[in-house]
Amino acid sequence: MTFNFHHLKVDYPGGEKWTLARPDYVALKALFRHWQQGMHNRAWNALFWCNHDQPRIVSRFGDEGEYRVTAAKMLAMVLHGMQGTPYIYQGEEIGMTNPHFSSISDYRDVESHNMFIERAAQGQSPDELLAILASKSRDNSRTPMPWHAGENGGFSDGEPWIGLGDNYQEINVEAALADPDSVFYAYQQLITLRKTLPLLTWGDYEDLLPEHPSLWCYRRQWQGQTLVVAANLSRELQAWQPAEAPGEWKMIISNYAETTPRPTGLTLRPFEAIWWLQG
């Protein structure tokens, strides 16, 4: 199994981590296409968005506000539709965001402190540096797991070594389990699909819109079955007009309550994602 990290640098313009930049989704799709096609029937890929050294993925590639839940589900659906072994980093299954620390004293990561000291000495403003850290610091994914809305999120009776996110009273395990439409249950659905559809294990991969800056649409096929995944990576409406797809189709998972039952021309809503299965 291979662990590749190149996809976690698509918001590093010119290879520079410590700057604020929009992710290059065309480059992101190209990397996954290369891995999905290059490893097919040859090797095995690790599928992941997050780890202890990366920002929270819903903050990085999604939305922290109105569309947080929708975006978190979309990112999960894009990843779980591919060949490989998906990894779910602690907190990803409840849609945790970056913690929004407001002071350098909130951080524990030595890399973050070193960057702040070096850049401040070069004349960069503290406010600008804190904004960069709030987006890119490794500590964004190292905050305690919030089990409920009580003191310390139920993580510890003592004082945690690093603070919790500023929204842990809203985003926590107890709240996720109480909401049947939460990110947690979307992950459960995806895990069930991966256990019941061999196509997800063995199918090939075709990128249907490799140059589109906001839509990620791909097709997988295996032994007479076809899966089409369509996802909107943006907050804007995105029109998609796929090639004609005859035959019987079934929509098997979506992150919006109402959607089209087959992969036909449609306008994808903000961060919308849909899986359709044929055969």
- pLDDT band for position 235 (cuts 50, 70, 90): very high
| Cβ atoms of 48 and 86 closer than 8 Å | yes
Would you call 156 exposed, middle or buried from its count of C-beta atoms within 10 A (0-12, 13-18, 19+)? exposed
Q: The domain 202-278 is classified under which CATH number: 1.10.520.10, 1.10.3470.10, 3.30.465.10, 2.60.40.1180?
A: 2.60.40.1180
Report the range of poorest mean pLDDT among 9-18, 71-80, 187-196, 242-251: 242-251
| Range(s) of the chain covered by CATH 2.60.40.1180 | 202-278
pLDDT recorded at residue 244: 86
Summarize the confidence of residues 67-91 as an average pLDDT.
Answer: 99
Share of the chain above pLDDT 90, in %: 99
Which pLDDT does position 173 carry in this prediction? Answer: 99
pLDDT in tens, 195-214: 999 999 999 999 999 999 99
pLDDT tens for each residue of 173-184 = 999 999 999 999
Residue 255 has a pLDDT of: 98
Rg, C-alpha atoms of the chain: 20
Fold of 6-190: TIM Barrel (3.20.20)
Query: 3-class DSSP state for residue 7?
Result: helix
Query: What's the mean per-residue pLDDT of the chain?
Result: 98
CB atoms within 10 A of CB 5: 11
Average pLDDT over residues 96-112: 98
Residues of the chain with CATH 3.20.20.80: 6-190
- pLDDT tens for each residue of 22-63: 999 999 999 999 999 999 999 999 999 999 999 999 999 999
